[in-house]
Amino acid sequence: MSSVALATRYPAPPLLRSADIAAKTGLILLVGLALIVPGLGNMDGKGLLPRAIGYPVAAFAIPFIWFTWWRQRASFPWAADFLITFACFSDIFGNFLNLYDSVDAFDNVVHFVNTGLLTAAVILLTMHRSTRLSAVLERALAFGVSAALVWEIAEYFAFLRWSPERLGAYADTLSDMSLGALGSLLAAFTVHALWSRGHLTEVAPQLELAHQERAGRR
């Protein structure tokens, strides 16, 4: 089945598509501004270069993979793509508004919410809506805790090891990882609850070959 036919058969809400494109556009603009005028993005000493490389790569990974390998057999996963893009955009945007330094709880909110967003994206990309809750929770924790750990390691090597903040890094790391795990659990319960109510079916990747194989086994 062609990508056009898949898009027609499984249309995503226009608002979701527009939000995804807007988040990608905003991310690229903010990253570009931060690279041109580092002080403008409030990211001096906060791992600007790793963010400038890693966030666009993450935000455009799904479009690249889909166009290269999936487009003939899967509809575009708009929801997962938006969740990943927004997680990257929100971090850059938060720095531009100086929220990390001006709002004490903002960093905790970002760890909780963004880990949840990324976990929800992984669930939508890798699991079928008929999956039982226990399996969804298992994958959510496996990914969420791992992602939180990888982020803390990357954060340390990107800028924290040279920062005065490293003196309190142990307690902050435990807090961030715990919040990431809680965000992952919330994402799992939310996605499964929406699946149970018949939602999210039009924004997840619809794999034609997988559907045909299941139909053949019945």
pLDDT grade, residue 205 (50/70/90)? Answer: low
**pTM for the full predicted model:** 0.84
Compute the half-sphere exposure of residue 65: CA atoms within 13 Å on the CB side of its CA: 13
| Position 214 pLDDT exceeds 70 | no
Res 42: pLDDT: 78
Q: What's the rounded mean pLDDT across residues 70-98?
A: 91
For CA atoms 136, 195, 76, 23, give the dihedral sign: negative
Res 166: pLDDT: 53
pLDDT digits (tens, 9 = 90+) for 161-178: 555 555 455 557 788 899
Q: How many domains would you assign to the chain?
A: 1
- The percentage of residues in the chain with a pLDDT greater than 90, rounded to a whole number, is 55
Do residues 89 and 30 make contact, with C-beta atoms less than 8 angstroms apart? yes
Domain that residue 12 falls in = 3-217
Do residues 125 and 80 make contact, with C-beta atoms less than 8 angstroms apart? yes
